[in-house]
Structure 1
């Protein structure tokens, strides 16, 4: 059983006529599991928009509303099922949708989340809480983490950002802030892009999807962070570019293949 998992920040619920393009791209890519962020208004009218999108894709959705920000979700394609689900709202600026999916290798826990975009210390705190709360061997934390990785030199790219947006990615010492990804790694999570990634991995901005806060810097803000046992099963992590992705959102989708046929 090789599962295709995709994570995508679709930008403010796909407003302005973008949602049809987002759904078209997802229908063509046919992920077995999708982690989606920035689902503005998807919770309204008892989750009607979420149900409509899931039904169009032939998937089952678990939506986590947000108190302060925007909802997130995990969508699963049958015959996969969601055996357990949870929603984290109060501890995060946005939210986290948690779905446990039975597989041949054991239960896969997928956490779709969107970390604090404004405050590095809050972003680190959110990452650390999630990393210590969800630690089963086959756990994946996926989504827009709004974070810089510790292995990349960021100063040149950050210098291209307008000053108000640059501050979002600087620590109190004025250096690029990598604490959120550092906290996940310290808790034992593996950055799947580093082990299975293709290309440059940059997920923002798209060519015609807005994202003025990213200027022309080109950044990797979307991640697949896996426990070591799951990271060892990952292959071909890639950013999906072209067609609708260039304008449907300011983030590109990020996908990975997971081999989950049997225990090791």
Structure 2
């Protein structure tokens, strides 16, 4: 069973660069001295990636690339797809080839697979909590430096959606921008004068008064920050479908349902990427 249905994964050039950098970091200048000293160069092995806990899988292509980058002769067989829910004990992939190669690339493959699957699993839990509402779960820029594309992909695997990718692809006017610009209306007017016709503008507001002021200018979305469910409902009523509404601030699995029922369009959750525990998967050699 899949937690998400989507087309397309990460670009192969992005994956290959990331796993190559990770392998270089792990191997240093001397290579895997444990494996080189204990395992024969002729030894062959077969190993299985097993889920030790139930969850949602993400990162299989990255795990495959880790082995292929180190040794192109390694065979990787995926037995699941990204976005699949798996039970504890499920085998999600098998890998075979030179035992030295499997041992050396194992940790890089698992680091990506466990981390990304953990994000997908947590995202799926948030998505399930708001089932039946019109809200969507979205991520934030609170990502691990260098891993944003992988973490945002994992969010999609869990059934969530992506917010802006970076500072470059949308204007999001937050509280500090408003202070520095001299007020919410001044900030919006300056942003509108600067933005091209393809650039969307969203503004963060912390009160209904700020919301009313923001709505006096053309906007694409409003971020309703740290508001109670009651205030969110009133904000949604004021907006009345004119622009996209997004709720943010301290969203948890315990609070997300009430937030969704306020009628907002989006709920952004930083925890998806900055606090998701890994999904415990292991690589076990056949005897």
Instruction: Report the TM-score range of the alignment, normalised by the length of the smaller protein.
Output: 0.3 to 0.5
Q: TM-score, normalised by structure 1?
A: 0.33
Name the structure with the higher helix share. 2
Name the structure with the higher strand share. 1
Q: TM-score, normalised by structure 2?
A: 0.31
* Structure exhibiting the larger radius of gyration computed from Cα positions: 2
